Structure 1
Amino acid sequence: MLEIPSTISTANVGKTMPEWNEQEHVNRARNGDMDACDALVRHYQERIYATIYHMTSNHEDAADIAQDTFIKAFRKIQYFKGDSAFFTWLYRIAVNNTINFLRSKRRRVILSINQMDEEWDSGEEVLGLVSKDTPQSTVDRHELQKFLNGAMQKLSPNHRLVVTLHDVQGVPHEQIGEIMDCNTNTVRTRLHYARKQLQAHLSDYLKQ
């Protein structure tokens, strides 16, 4: 029987790893090779953890969900058909776990105002708050960040997810489509709608 790695270790973070062969490790893991399972965890744990953390804004919750993600993945690895990259399949499990968690716990997602690039068309007022470095602007940025975090909670889970994946994690549209099981046009539409909703909330804030 395939045993599941009991912990997610950070001991190998920053170390130089040998050339990576994903398919080889997946095949070995399917056959119950624990070294291959450990290697898959080490290779992907940082990205999986980071994605979950940006959606939950809680380190302990992110660690628990990441752990559960790998447990589910190894239990179901026999069903991985290879139609997509293993990481995309693993990412999808992590995303589903996190969405279920957010729906049950209603945790907060943090989107930094510094991640609002030119695609947002946020206006000179917001750009001014981000670029200035004065005591007053620091207070203003703090208040704006709190308001933005609250606005994120008003988005649906799918719209919150697409903002998290693209604007926080930098995941390409095509891969987001694979993760969310939709085409890239749907990804772009959801991202556009989510940004417009957040911009509307920001406009209300700036009018105060």
Structure 2
Amino acid sequence: MSIAKTLDRTISVSPERAQEASTDLAIVRRVQEGDVAAFDRLILKYRERIYSVIYNLTGNREDTSDLTQDSFIKAFQSINRFRANSSFFTWLYRIAVNTTLTFLRKNKLRRFLSFDKINEDGESAEVIDALVTKSHSDRDALRRELQEKLNEAFQRLSFKHRTVVTLFEIDQLSHREIAEIMGCSEGTVRSRLHYAKQELQSQLQDYLK
């Protein structure tokens, strides 16, 4: 991941995201005025993204399907309380994250981070940049070993730290958006990302040599 891309996501929300928020607000207003069918457009638009963020926190497809459905049901039931203090996108993400947190606490489940997912574009994510610099004659074997060790290290992170890593590295959200979703300051988001990076590097120090 380039420094420029990281800074862009850190500093501001893109014009495209701002336009998206405006379009969403118009649809939300229609739903609030009684056009229930209009909510289907929001489901179609965000279903895959919400499914993705929940899956990266649960690692179970059946649970993810149920939680995705629950998140949209809760969003629909609460739609009249949406006041546009944030974008619909971040409001919906917050519902999904909180729904998942409640589920994980109740079931005492932990998530495995996918090395394939965070490295799918051919570039290493910021959290594990140093891992791919280690030379090894058998890259496939190293990759499998890295996946196992990364999963183990990721399990040890708290839900809050796993969530910021997921939203920043996998869902490519800005610090501002993550702060809105998690109900904290941007400084707290940066602090949690830094802590998560340090913890993962500590757990994987043998691969950083």
- TM-score band, normalised by shorter chain: 0.7 to 0.9
Q: Structure 1 28/122 Cα, relative in aligned 2: closer, same or farther at 3 Å?
A: closer
How far residue 128 of structure 1 moved from its aligned partner, in angstroms, is 3.1
Q: RCO higher in 1 or 2 (8 Å CA, sep ≥ 6)? A: 2
Residue of structure 2 aligned with 1:62, choices 57, 64, 68: 64
Question: Is the counterpart of residue 103 in structure 1 residue 109 in structure 2?
Answer: no
For the residues of structure 2 that align with 1:40 and 1:122, how far apart are their CA atoms? 35
For the residues of structure 2 that align with 1:79 and 1:21, how far apart are their CA atoms? 18
Aligned to 1:112: 115
How far residue 97 of structure 1 moved from its aligned partner, in angstroms, is 0.8
Q: Structure 1 54/30 Cα, relative in aligned 2: closer, same or farther at 3 Å?
A: same
Normalised TM-score (structure 2): 0.79
Deviations 1:150-170 (A, max 9, x none): 111111110111111111211
Question: Mapping of 1:18-29 within 5 angstroms?
Answer: 21-29=23-31
How far residue 137 of structure 1 moved from its aligned partner, in angstroms, is 2.1
Q: Structure 1 168/77 Cα, relative in aligned 2: closer, same or farther at 3 Å?
A: same
Deviations 1:93-120 (A, max 9, x none): 0010111222233132324165483734
Q: How many residues align?
A: 183
Secondary structure of the equivalent of 1:188?
helix
Contact 2:125 2:169 in 1 (8 A): no
Larger Cα Rg: Structure 1 or Structure 2?
1
For the residues of structure 2 that align with 1:144 and 1:71, how far apart are their CA atoms? 38
Secondary structure of the equivalent of 1:21?
helix
For the residues of structure 2 that align with 1:121 and 1:88, how far apart are their CA atoms? 26
How far residue 54 of structure 1 moved from its aligned partner, in angstroms, is 1.2
Question: Is the counterpart of residue 167 in structure 1 residue 174 in structure 2?
Answer: no
1:119 maps to amino acid: E
Runs of at least 4 residues of structure 1 off by over 4 A?
A: 204-207
For the residues of structure 2 that align with 1:104 and 1:140, how far apart are their CA atoms? 35
Gaps of 5+ in 1: 1-19
Structure with bigger helix share is 2
Root-mean-square deviation (CA, aligned residues, Å) is: 2.3
Q: Structure 1 34/167 Cα, relative in aligned 2: closer, same or farther at 3 Å?
A: same
Normalised TM-score (structure 1): 0.79
2:158 maps to amino acid: S
How far residue 34 of structure 1 moved from its aligned partner, in angstroms, is 2.6
Question: Mapping of 1:29-48 within 5 angstroms?
Answer: 29-48=31-50
Secondary structure of the equivalent of 2:200?
helix
Residue of structure 2 aligned with 1:137, choices 139, 142, 145: 139
How far residue 44 of structure 1 moved from its aligned partner, in angstroms, is 1.1
Identity of aligned residues (%): 46
